[in-house]
Structure 1
Amino acid sequence: MKAPPRLQSLIDEGLIDTVVRQLMSDKEAMVFVVRHGEQTLCAKIYKEATNRSFRQAVDYTENRKTKNSRTGRAMAKGSKFGRQEQEAAWQNAEVDALYRLAAAGVRVPQPFNFHDGVLLMELVTDAHGDAAPRLNDVSFTPEQALQHHATLIAEVVRMLCAGVVHGDLSEFNILLAHGDVQGEPESTDFPVIIDLPQAVDAAGNHHAQRMLLRDVANLRNFFGQFAPALLKTEYGAEIWSLYQSGMLGNETPLTGRYERSHADVDMQAVLREIDDARDEEAARRLRMATAG
Structure 2
Amino acid sequence: MKAPPRLQSLIEEGLIDTVVRQLMSGKEAMVYVVRCGDETRCAKIYKEATQRSFRQAVDYTENRRVKNSRQARAMAKGTKFGRQAQEAAWQSAEVDALYRLAAAGVRVPQPHNFHDGVLLMELVTDAHGDAAPRLNDVSFTPEAARAHHATLLVEVVRMLGAGVVHGDLSEFNILLGHVDGADGPVIIDLPQAVDAAGNNHAQRMLLRDVANLRDFFGQFAPELLATSHGPEIWDLYQRGMLDTDVALTGHFARPQGAVDLGGVLREIGDAQAEEQARRLRMQSAA
Q: TM-score of the superposition, structure 2-length normalised?
A: 0.88
After TM superposition, give the deviation of residue 128 of structure 1 in Å.
2.2
Shift in Å at residue 69 of structure 1?
1.7
For 2:245 and 2:82, the matched residues in 1 are separated by 42
Q: Distance in 1 between matches of 2:187 and 2:236?
A: 23
Q: Summarize the alignment of residues 216-255 of structure 1 with structure 2, pairs less than 5 Å apart.
A: 216-255=210-249
Q: For 1:111 and 1:179, how far apart are their aligned partners in 2?
A: 13
Q: Is the 8 A contact 1:27 1:49 kept in 2?
A: no
Indicate the residue corresponding to 2:164 in structure 1.
164
Aligned length: 267
CA separation of 1:179 and 1:94: change in aligned 2, threshold 3 A: closer
CA 1:112–1:104 in 2, change beyond 3 Å: closer, same or farther?
Answer: same
Separation in structure 1 between the aligned mates of residue 160 and residue 105 of structure 2, nearest angstrom: 12
Aligned residue identity for 1:249: D
Q: Determine the C-alpha separation between the residues in 1 that align with 2:266 and 2:249.
A: 25
The residue type paired with residue 245 of structure 1 is R
Match of 2:154 in 1: 154
Q: Residue 125 of structure 1 corresponds to which residue in structure 2?
A: 125
Quote the residue 2:201 is aligned against.
207
Unaligned runs of 5+ in 2: 270-286
Amino acid corresponding to residue 111 of structure 1 in structure 2: P
Report Cα offsets for 1:18-64 as digits up to 9, x if no partner.
Answer: 0000001123111000001110000000011234677x521111111
Identify the residue that residue 72 of structure 1 maps to in structure 2: 72
Q: Is the 8 A contact 1:127 1:179 kept in 2?
A: no
Q: CA deviation at 1:127?
A: 2.4
Other-structure match for 2:185? 191
**Helix, strand or coil for the counterpart of 1:45?**
strand
Residue 31 of structure 1 is matched in structure 2 by 31
Shift in CA distance, 126/77, structure 1 to aligned 2, threshold 3 Å? same
Partner of 2:254: 260
Could you say which residue in structure 1 is the equivalent of 2:90? Answer: 90
TM-aligned CA deviation for residue 252 of structure 1: 1.4
TM-score by length of 1: 0.87
- Structure 1 residues 179 and 15 mapped into 2: Cα distance closer, same or farther (>3 Å)? closer
Task: Spell out structure 1 runs of 4+ moving beyond 4 A.
Answer: 51-54, 265-272
Report what 2:278 is aligned to.
Answer: none
**Local SS of the residue matching 1:156:** helix
- CA distance, structure 1, for counterparts of residue 180 and residue 155 of structure 2: 17
CA contact (8 A) 1:99 1:111 kept: yes
After TM superposition, give the deviation of residue 179 of structure 1 in Å: 5.8
Q: Distance in 2 between matches of 1:248 and 1:72?
A: 33
In structure 1, what is the equivalent of residue 100 of structure 2? 100
Please, what is the CA RMSD of the aligned residues? Answer: 2.1
CA–CA distance in structure 2, aligned partners of residues 13 and 94 of structure 1? 22
CA contact (8 A) 1:217 1:236 kept: yes
**Equivalences for residues 130-145 of structure 1 within 5 A:** 130-145=130-145
Contact 2:27–2:54 under 8 Å retained in 1: no
- The secondary structure found in structure 2 opposite 1:140 is coil
Return the offset for 1:270.
Answer: 8.3
The change in CA–CA distance for 1:88 and 1:254 in structure 2 (over 3 A counts) is: same
- Residues 270 and 218 (structure 1 numbering): CA distance in 2 closer, same or farther, change over 3 Å? farther
3-state DSSP of counterpart to 2:176: strand
Q: Matches of 1:61 and 1:270 in 2, distance apart?
A: 16
Letter in 1 for 2:93: A
| 2:44 counterpart residue number | 44
- Whether contact under 8 Å (1:178, 1:190) holds in the other structure is yes
Question: SS state of the match for residue 218, structure 1?
Answer: helix
Q: Secondary structure at the match of 1:42?
A: strand
Q: Quote the offset at 1:94 in angstroms.
A: 0.2
Q: Which moved more, 1:141-150 or 1:62-71?
A: 62-71
Give SS of 1:30's match.
strand
Structure 1 spans left out of the alignment, 5+ residues: 182-186, 273-292
Q: Residue 274 of structure 2 aligns with which residue? A: none
In structure 1, distance between residues paired with 2:119 and 2:226: 39
Separation of aligned partners in 1, 2:45 and 2:26: 11
Which residue matches 2:282?
none
Partner of 1:20: 20
